[in-house]
Chain A
Amino acid sequence: MIVLADLTKRYGEKTAVDHLSFQIQPGVVTGFLGPNGAGKSSTMRMILGLDRPTAGTVEIAGRPYRDIAYPLRTIGALLDPRTGHPGQSARSHLLGMARSNRLPSSRVDHVLGAVGLAEVARKRIGSFSLGMGQRLGIASALLGDPQIVMLDEPVNGLDPDGVVWIRKLMRSLAAEGRTVFVSSHLMSEMQETADHLIVIGRGALIADAPIDQVIAQSTRNSVKVRSPQTASLREALERAGMTVTTLEDSELQVTAGNLDQVGAIAFSIGAQVDELAFHRPSLEQAYLELTADSLEYDAILPRPTGT
């Protein structure tokens, strides 16, 4: 378990992480989401004791990172695909890490095999592709067989096989009861992998909830109803306080209402219903809605040029 209490980080004037408090539980995959510059990587660097918090604390399994004697055995992390010295081979990079934490060298060969790098183990890291670097980073994270695994954008640069592999890896780590904390910008991937979500924007907490709840809270949950009498049906639904948009001539989209309510209203005014369906938004839609107000780097649209 990782516990953040009031964690704050300022870089000069810039507040990168703003009074974050949350806990990351074992046995589930916790997704860490937020727009570019939201403070995800900064938070992870503080968890690892690389950056010093301006205020607040982080504890890993009850202790600050620096107090863990052999930290690789407790928490493994991938921060940056550029791990290690470019002149070193993958194997000697991992071997050094293993020696630093008194891990047997059999672990090195094991993780190299597990991430599919056994054949290039003696090649220089500098010659690795982005995806190979990412795999080596994951090997480093798994080296100490840690109970906590933290990955910053692990699928970045991986081929489709690699993406599936990472998803299965995270699921199996969580199933073994480990704590899995992973950041990503790929919402479809997160939707399939994560059980719980932590969403931040501009360094502050926006959501900390199970993924189903995050999606359920979205206003984009809607009911689609098809009927020949859209005009009267629309009026009746709006009278009941629902928001209605006309999709096509005979199709309405209703938000702030559920299937039973829409069906009952249609019945009460005697409208014929040809189709009634619930539309559940994707995680991406729910996420975009959540973070709409806290985009760090909002796209600037071209202005119409006038004279």
Chain B
Amino acid sequence: MSSISGSPATGAKTRGGPSRLGSSIAFEWTKLTSVRSTWWNVTISSVVTIALGLLLGGSMKASADNGYDVAMPAPHVAFQSLIAAQFLVMVMATLFIASEYTSGSIKTTLQSVPVRARMLFGKVAVIAAIGLVIGVVQSTIGTAAIALLAGDYSSFTATELSLTILGSAVDFALLGITALGLATAFRSATGTIIATVGLFGLPRIVPIFNIEWLTDFSQYFPTEAGTVLGLQTTAPYGWSTATLVLLAWAATALTAGYAVLHIRDA
């Protein structure tokens, strides 16, 4: 039996607060990127975005050629087609923690990073970064796919494009964090995904009931706020309120997740 201390265990790097946080982020990054389902998720949502973009672009061109007025800036059309991509980012964030409870690897995680807040922050940082990147990439490829087929009928300005890219990035990152917080609280993928479907679907269903306060409230659901950012609309509120609304959802979900993490046994 060879001794276990064959190579030095301690690196030469200095210790300290920020580096502990950094190592927890590196840990979570390694986990997320070394699991195949992450890459499937990214691939599927890109394929869906491109396919939807081509479909929308093609039908815009066909309608416009037939004399209908369907002209709309490509980035805005693209954002509306990103609903599947948004949902998949939330699924990714959900599985990021829920699968740790299913597989039992949460024990390894908390053994490695025992401070709950630091562990959760590591995951938040990784999901935020991934969400930002996916938001940028998806809105860009969606715009390109639409512009490719719709041509002049989807002309847009550089400002429109940059604002939609920025809005998507912020939207995706904060949606991801919201799902992460919910999944940390629920500890189950099924429960969290049902809640996510509710967050997406309720604003569409609620107006049917014609209850005024409920309809008002549903305007503050994350997808509605995300749409304000993606399309740069001013109703029902502007971009600053929309950002605050998304931040509030993310903060609430994270607080719930942290509370459960703090109180319950692993």
**Chain A residues within 8 Å of B26, by CB:** 99-100
**Chain A residues within 8 Å of B155, by CB:** none
State how many angstroms separate the Cβ of A121 from the closest Cβ of chain B. Answer: 12
A173 and B113 contacting across the interface, CB-CB below 8 Å: no
Interface status of B115 (Cβ within 8 A of chain A): yes
A80 and B1 contacting across the interface, CB-CB below 8 Å: no
Interface status of A229 (Cβ within 8 A of chain B): no
Interface status of B194 (Cβ within 8 A of chain A): no
0/1 string, A76-106, CB within 8 A of B gives 1: 0101101111111100110111011111101
0/1 string, B21-55, CB within 8 A of A gives 1: 00110111011001111000000000000000000
State how many angstroms separate the Cβ of B122 from the closest Cβ of chain A. Answer: 8
A72 and B112 contacting across the interface, CB-CB below 8 Å: yes
Interface status of B265 (Cβ within 8 A of chain A): yes
| Alpha-carbon distance between A82 and B2 when the two chains are bound, in angstroms | 25
User: Given A45-B265, A73-B10 in contact, is the A85-B1 Cβ separation under 8 Å?
Assistant: no
A106 and B36 contacting across the interface, CB-CB below 8 Å: no
**Chain B residues within 8 Å of A86, by CB:** 103
Interface status of A287 (Cβ within 8 A of chain B): no
**Chain A residues within 8 Å of B100, by CB:** 85
State how many angstroms separate the Cβ of B19 from the closest Cβ of chain A. Answer: 7
Contact of B4 among A89, A145, A165 (CB under 8 A): A145
Instruction: Give the interface size class of chain A.
Output: 35 or more
A48 and B35 contacting across the interface, CB-CB below 8 Å: no
| Alpha-carbon distance between A173 and B5 when the two chains are bound, in angstroms | 10
Interface status of B235 (Cβ within 8 A of chain A): no
**Chain B residues within 8 Å of A279, by CB:** none
Number of interface residues of B (CB under 8 A): 41
Which segment of A23-31, A49-57, A232-240 sits at the interface?
Answer: A49-57
**Which chain A residues in 261-298 approach chain B with CB under 8 Å?**
none
B23 and A100 contacting across the interface, CB-CB below 8 Å: yes
Contact of A96 among B27, B37, B114 (CB under 8 A): B27
State how many angstroms separate the Cβ of A26 from the closest Cβ of chain B. Answer: 15
Name which residue of chain A comes closest to B10, CB basis: A73
User: Given A51-B265, A69-B15 in contact, is the A97-B108 Cβ separation under 8 Å?
Assistant: yes
**Chain A residues within 8 Å of B114, by CB:** 48-49, 65-66, 68, 71
| Alpha-carbon distance between A107 and B108 when the two chains are bound, in angstroms | 17
B9 and A99 contacting across the interface, CB-CB below 8 Å: no
| Alpha-carbon distance between A93 and B114 when the two chains are bound, in angstroms | 17
A85 and B31 contacting across the interface, CB-CB below 8 Å: yes
**Chain A residues within 8 Å of B37, by CB:** 87
Interface status of B20 (Cβ within 8 A of chain A): yes
B112 and A104 contacting across the interface, CB-CB below 8 Å: no
**Chain B residues within 8 Å of A68, by CB:** 114
**Which chain A residues in 19-53 approach chain B with CB under 8 Å?**
45, 48-52
State how many angstroms separate the Cβ of A193 from the closest Cβ of chain B. Answer: 13
Interface status of B266 (Cβ within 8 A of chain A): yes
Interface status of A186 (Cβ within 8 A of chain B): no
Contact of B1 among A71, A144, A168 (CB under 8 A): A168
A84 and B20 contacting across the interface, CB-CB below 8 Å: no
| Alpha-carbon distance between A15 and B7 when the two chains are bound, in angstroms | 43
A89 and B34 contacting across the interface, CB-CB below 8 Å: yes
Interface status of A156 (Cβ within 8 A of chain B): no
Interface status of A176 (Cβ within 8 A of chain B): yes
Interface status of A111 (Cβ within 8 A of chain B): yes
Interface status of B157 (Cβ within 8 A of chain A): no
**Chain A residues within 8 Å of B20, by CB:** 69-70
**Chain B residues within 8 Å of A73, by CB:** 9-10
Interface status of A243 (Cβ within 8 A of chain B): no
State how many angstroms separate the Cβ of B237 from the closest Cβ of chain A. Answer: 40
Contact of B111 among A52, A72, A99 (CB under 8 A): A72
| Alpha-carbon distance between A106 and B5 when the two chains are bound, in angstroms | 11
B111 and A48 contacting across the interface, CB-CB below 8 Å: yes
Interface status of A221 (Cβ within 8 A of chain B): no
**Chain B residues within 8 Å of A93, by CB:** 34, 108
B113 and A100 contacting across the interface, CB-CB below 8 Å: yes
State how many angstroms separate the Cβ of B40 from the closest Cβ of chain A. Answer: 10
B35 and A87 contacting across the interface, CB-CB below 8 Å: yes
Interface status of B3 (Cβ within 8 A of chain A): yes
Contact of A50 among B23, B30, B266 (CB under 8 A): B266
Interface status of A114 (Cβ within 8 A of chain B): yes
User: Given A96-B34, A110-B7 in contact, is the A169-B111 Cβ separation under 8 Å?
Assistant: no
B9 and A144 contacting across the interface, CB-CB below 8 Å: yes
**Chain B residues within 8 Å of A110, by CB:** 4, 6-7
| Alpha-carbon distance between A103 and B31 when the two chains are bound, in angstroms | 16
| Alpha-carbon distance between A50 and B265 when the two chains are bound, in angstroms | 6
User: Given A51-B266, A87-B37 in contact, is the A99-B23 Cβ separation under 8 Å?
Assistant: yes
State how many angstroms separate the Cβ of B91 from the closest Cβ of chain A. Answer: 15
Interface status of A7 (Cβ within 8 A of chain B): no
User: Given A50-B266, A52-B265 in contact, is the A84-B103 Cβ separation under 8 Å?
Assistant: yes
Interface residues, chain B, with chain A CB atoms under 8 Å away: 1-11, 13, 15, 19-20, 23-24, 26-28, 30-31, 34-37, 99-100, 103-105, 107-108, 110-115, 265-266
8 A-B residue contacts at CB 8 Å?
A: A51-B266, A80-B104, A99-B23, A100-B112, A102-B11, A110-B4, A110-B7, A145-B9
